Homo-oligomer: A and B are copies of this chain.
Amino acid sequence: MNKNETAAVISLTNIKAACKSCTLRELCLPYGLREPDLSAVDKVVKRRHKLKKGELLYRFGDPLKSLYAIRSGALKTTSLLGDGRAQVMGFYLSGELLGMDAINTDHHPCSAEALEASEVCEISYSDLEGLAQEIPGLQHQLLRIMSREITQDEQLLMMLGQMSAEERLASCLMSFSKRRARLGLAESDLKLSMSRRDLGDYLGLALETVSRLFSRFQDEGLISVQGRHVRLHDMERLRTIATGFRDEQNMRA
């Protein structure tokens, strides 16, 4: 084991995160920032946390202390109904920011759980707000990221409110594909980190329905499925389904 590898091992436990040297920088909060602002942002990033699969980053009702940027892995945020029904509010991948829904009330309205071994950067919210006050580019990016969160929720609203089960899954797959492309990964080759139940709780469907849809899509040659590994074969047709063209004729508008 050489010196670098040793350093890497140590870094995983508790090192101060450094946006400066982070490959996800341009996808994340410091997007567009240059020195010395970059170093300033580094100062409000407390440290990295490693999460095991199934571990909670925060839970419903916790006071807001920090936002979290995902360095690697994947998380879901979930909210519960009185009798235990769960809605997955979102899946979060590398370069994405988590916890903004807590700013309003200073308490997290969701729980956040790691879907696989993950690493997150903890960003003190009060420090961040202070720094955004001084760095226009940071304020701008924070507002944009929050706005993106809103539009993502709105896309999910469209799925849950108007789309058939088939359309929901197609949309979901296309969304995962796009986000992988954003990270520079193969867009037609998905390794899902969530269970069928999670997917169902996200799409507002029973897990059995999700499973059946995977099978149906496979039978129709749209995708191939091996457990959580999904290959997209016909992105064009998936996109058409996801866009919600039920028939070409009889449009309402």
Binding site for B on A (CB under 8 A): 79-87, 89, 100-105, 109-110, 129, 132-133, 136, 139-140, 142-151, 153-154, 156-158, 160-163, 201-204, 243-247, 250-253
Chain A contact residues, majority secondary structure: helix
The residue on B at minimum CB distance from A146 is B146
The residue on B at minimum CB distance from A101 is B150
Of all A-B residue pairs in the complex, the 10 with the closest CB atoms, nearest first, are: A84-B252, A81-B244, A161-B204, A103-B147, A160-B160, A153-B153, A104-B147, A84-B253, A82-B245, A104-B148
> How near does chain B come to A198, taking the closest CB pair, in angstroms?
12
Contacting pair B89 A244 (CB below 8 A): no
A150 to B14: give the CA distance in the assembly, Å.
31
A139 cross-chain contacts in B, Cβ below 8 A: 129, 132-133, 139
Contacting pair A158 B253 (CB below 8 A): no
A145 to B100: give the CA distance in the assembly, Å.
11
Contacting pair A244 B83 (CB below 8 A): yes
The residue on B at minimum CB distance from A244 is B81
A129 cross-chain contacts in B, Cβ below 8 A: 136, 139-140, 143
Q: How many monomers of this protein are in the complex?
A: 2
A163 to B86: give the CA distance in the assembly, Å.
10
If A100-B150, A129-B143, A245-B82 touch, whether A87 touches B251 (CB-CB below 8 Å) is no
Contacting pair A162 B101 (CB below 8 A): no
The residue on B at minimum CB distance from A158 is B87
Contacting pair B243 A82 (CB below 8 A): yes
Contacting pair B201 A253 (CB below 8 A): no
Contacting pair A246 B83 (CB below 8 A): yes
> How near does chain B come to A133, taking the closest CB pair, in angstroms?
5
**CB-defined A-B contacts under 8 Å, sample of 7:** A81-B243, A83-B245, A83-B252, A85-B244, A100-B150, A104-B145, A157-B160
12 more A-B residue pairs beyond the given contacts A81-B162, A89-B157, A150-B153, with a C-beta to C-beta distance below 8 A: A79-B158, A86-B252, A86-B253, A87-B161, A101-B147, A104-B144, A105-B151, A133-B136, A139-B139, A142-B143, A153-B157, A160-B160
